[in-house]
Structure 1
Amino acid sequence: MKKFTLLLLILLLGLALPACGKKDNPRPKDQEKLFAWKAAKGVLFSGTRDKAPVRCLAVTADLTGAAHNVERFLLEIEPQTENVCKGCPFMPEEIITVTPQRVQTAGNTTRLSFEACPAQSAPAYRWRLVAQSLFKSVPHVFSKIYFADSEK
């Protein structure tokens, strides 16, 4: 009986030990391929789409690291209507692929500027940026969530 108990204990330890350790998405070993959002600012302004007035968002954002390895920039937008509570989780209703209209590089920081007009006009928006890498092994890089509610 002792042999059976010992064998069972060794078997359980053998199954449990591989589950220990760091749990995280794989990261590339070459840190020169990575980039991160440093800061961003968004301001609402009045624009037009198909000759109709809409509320648009002008964004300026700083990206550090290997900005040349970004394949695509996305803007995730959640209109702030009376149905949305202030403390609710961020649930973007629209994702816009954006192309920077202005790009400035200073050292390790790249400043991007662009404008986007969401399909749903709202008095305010919660938003965040997403940078997708050229390298499929590098996970998407998300900015923090920002709030825009004033005209420029």
Structure 2
Amino acid sequence: MKFHILKKQLLLAVIALMLLATAGCGVKMWPAPQQSEDLYTFTSVEGRRVGGCLKVVVKVDGAYKNVDNLSLQFQADGSGPGEGCPTCPFFPAIRKDFTPGSEGIQSDGSTFVFSECGLDPAKSYRWRVVGRNVYDALGVVISDVYTAAP
């Protein structure tokens, strides 16, 4: 009788261990945003130089409401400190962040318009726009590098 009870308890213990082991199997991940629904891309990025200002128009395709901020990165072409040459790799010396809904940026749905003033009207500038998603895990969207001639 004792052997039967011991055998029964041992069998129940083995079954319990198997259940615990199988419950721990599988991929465990933190919840993540759905990329297909939460990503956006730049449809077009245009910049126009008006004297000492650079006016930028960015059109976004996809989840444009997930734009956390747009960063205008630029560098003057020249021989001074923080300046680069037109054929050198782009290394933005100045960055200006624009957050949708704040002062300095206008948005009309998926189109964002902002400008940066105080540029030297005699110098050429290389620039790009970097967009950050509200979901950090989805990374950033980076535009091509453009040149704004004086």
TM-score normalised to structure 2 length: 0.65
Q: Which has the higher strand share?
A: 1
Aligned partners of 1:43 and 1:149 also within 8 Å: no
Give identity over the alignment, percent.
Answer: 28
Larger Rg: 2
Deviation of 1:69 after TM superposition, in Å, equals: 0.6
- Equivalent residue of 2:136, what SS? coil
- The residue aligned with 2:6 is none
- Equivalent residue of 2:37, what SS? helix
Aligned partners of 2:76 and 2:126 also within 8 Å: yes
Deviation of 1:65 after TM superposition, in Å, equals: 0.7
1:30 aligns with 2:27: no
User: What is the rounded CA distance, in whole Å, between the counterparts of 1:104 and 1:43 in structure 2?
Assistant: 19
Q: Which has the higher helix share?
A: 2
Aligned 1:33-44 pairs, distance under 5 A: 33-44=38-49
User: What is the rounded CA distance, in whole Å, between the counterparts of 1:56 and 1:125 in structure 2?
Assistant: 11
106, 109, 112: which one aligns with 1:102: 106
51, 57, 60: which one aligns with 2:54: 57
RMSD: 2.1
Deviation of 1:42 after TM superposition, in Å, equals: 0.9
User: What is the rounded CA distance, in whole Å, between the counterparts of 1:99 and 1:149 in structure 2?
Assistant: 26
- The residue aligned with 2:14 is none
Aligned 1:113-152 pairs, distance under 5 A: 113-118=113-118, 121=120, 123-150=123-150
Q: Which runs of 5+ in 1 are unaligned?
A: 1-26, 47-54
- The residue aligned with 1:17 is none
- The residue aligned with 1:81 is 78
Q: What is the number of equivalent residue pairs in this alignment?
A: 111
TM-score normalised to structure 1 length: 0.65
Deviation of 1:28 after TM superposition, in Å, equals: 5.6
